[in-house]
A = this chain, B = another copy of it.
């Protein structure tokens, strides 16, 4: 029997560490761990300006946002259609810190699918996740906004958000659901997976850590051991 491969997605956000040498180190660590641990998929969601540099080190790179636009006279936007030229596997969509209207989620998810890449669409609640499931993205991540960056892990404080979201989504379509917000310790991630999620989305616990690489190793080992 093939063991499930869990997702460990690191959102670099716009922390200083997303742009400097720490970002490169994280990519190197991700690259080493990926060849060592077969049960964990490490995704790095990075600032657009960092894609080329990080992709030369590690190849499971996501964008953090795309604009719902075709190619054309748009200055300072990242047209969703450009995805076909970019060295990324996919993109975050509708993150809690970059919410967009449903119509735009629909447009972006469709364009991503058209070029054979992956969408990881975020939701605040099981209700939002259910609406998104109708759009058939590659993955859905549920993160209660009040817990993001709080250090209070969703899998401890609001386990029902994970179970409800998994249940609401699966009723519509069998889409993997990740959990996020406040996840600080490897055990929080393990707990989130035990609640039915397919992995976690994490940010400050890595990006603001004294030793981000150590944090990543600990998480990946714990998740791999599930």
Contacts and interface: CB of A to CB of B under 8 A. Distances in A.
A36 interface: no
A73 B97 contact: yes
Given A74-B14, A75-B96, A77-B14, A82 B19 contact: yes
Given A95-B76, A101-B101, A14 B49 contact: no
| Interface footprint category on A | 35 or more
Copies of this chain present in the complex amount to 4
A145 B106 CA distance: 13
B82 A47 contact: yes
A130 interface: yes
Given A19-B85, A51-B49, A102-B131, A75 B13 contact: yes
Contacts of A14: 69, 71-75, 77-79, 82
A147 to B, nearest CB: 13
Contacts of A16: 71, 81-82
Interface of A: 11, 13-16, 18-20, 45, 47-49, 51-53, 63-65, 69, 71-79, 81-82, 85-86, 92, 95-103, 106, 123-128, 130-135, 145, 148-149, 168, 172, 203-204
